[in-house]
Chain A
Amino acid sequence: MAASSSTAIDAPPGGWAHSFVKRLRAGDEIAYLLTFICAASVVAITALLVWELYINSYEARVKFGWSFLWTTTWDPVNGQFGALPFVYGTLVTSGLAMLIGIPLGVGAAIFLAELAPPRISSALTFLIELLAAVPSVIFGLLGIFILVPALRTAEPALRAVLGWTPLFQGAFYGVSLFSAGVVLAVMIIPFIISISREVILAVPGDQREGALALGATRWETTWDVVVPFARKGIAGSIFLALARSLGETMAVTMVVGNETKIHASLFAPGYSIAAVLANEFVEATGPLHLSALTELGLVLFALTIVINGAARILVASTSGKGMS
């Protein structure tokens, strides 16, 4: 190498410049620069995204301050904007989805990772991961035409069992916070299953062998040894699912009922942040309305970023230890 470069006629003396020219000619510098720009563009896009949300929500932020988050009047006509009904609806529907989705998702993940024969497990996992690929508008379609009528039929039974709580009071029209929660649950279950399953599979085999050798049953081994070992990863999968359900738009918009009021009852129609964005953004009545909606977008963005960040840390901290 050194010999060839010293004999070259056009090469300038000196190490750095020389090697730079040589690498430029070979295309390395160009390739480096080009790929670097593309990688850096992600950071730039994210920064631009935050900036756009921030400046475009200026009017609403100045006018309402933090009270935007806890006032309940949403009146585009009179220029009063409070986001609490949407924040409430978002949290309630996602919470309900978690309540239904976590036991089902983690249960299925345990079955697929610990109990099912490998061939059946991989076939079922394949099916369930396909479920994760179904577009959300399809879930909305099924929500409107299958789930809502089905819930109307199931309503008396639900009321008989849970009607004594304040959560299941009032008239039930089918579209409600409850329907939205159920649709969201179906949508997030595949995420919980596929990540939790991988985390559980990554638990070292000697953990199981140790427990079984001490005389634990299969279930005791799974529940007292394997699951605690994988708990951070499972928690991470739950957080990821939560972030997804908070930002889910179409399916919720189609079944939640779209009413800007806070009801304690899950049977009542409600609204969510994403749903109000979908419904009102295009028809915003003026700059202030648009600005308030953009601020809602900012709130949703912040919410999902925080939860996603937590999820990544949790998943990373187990997979680093378990996989190898």
Chain B
Amino acid sequence: MTTASPLELEVAQLIIDAVHLEDINAEEIDPEAPLFREGLRLDSIDALEIALAISRRYGFQLRADGKDNVSIFASLRSLSQHIEKNRVK
């Protein structure tokens, strides 16, 4: 598992808090593992809750990337990179 950056750890904790994941710590989430369908097995309901948490914490609105949200949410790393690029807070 690659090492998570400080932002990736912060976003991991945001995900855990937003969707009420139990039994997992932020450090245990592999930054390059899938978030959907495998890995954390998040679904579209989670995506909405995470989007709200992101808008409140980082001050910008998530938008769908093309047909579905797969590439923004492909991994913790891709999501964190998207936040880094778009954050206003």
Do A and B pair up? The answer is no
Which residues of chain A have a CB within 8 Å of any CB of chain B? none
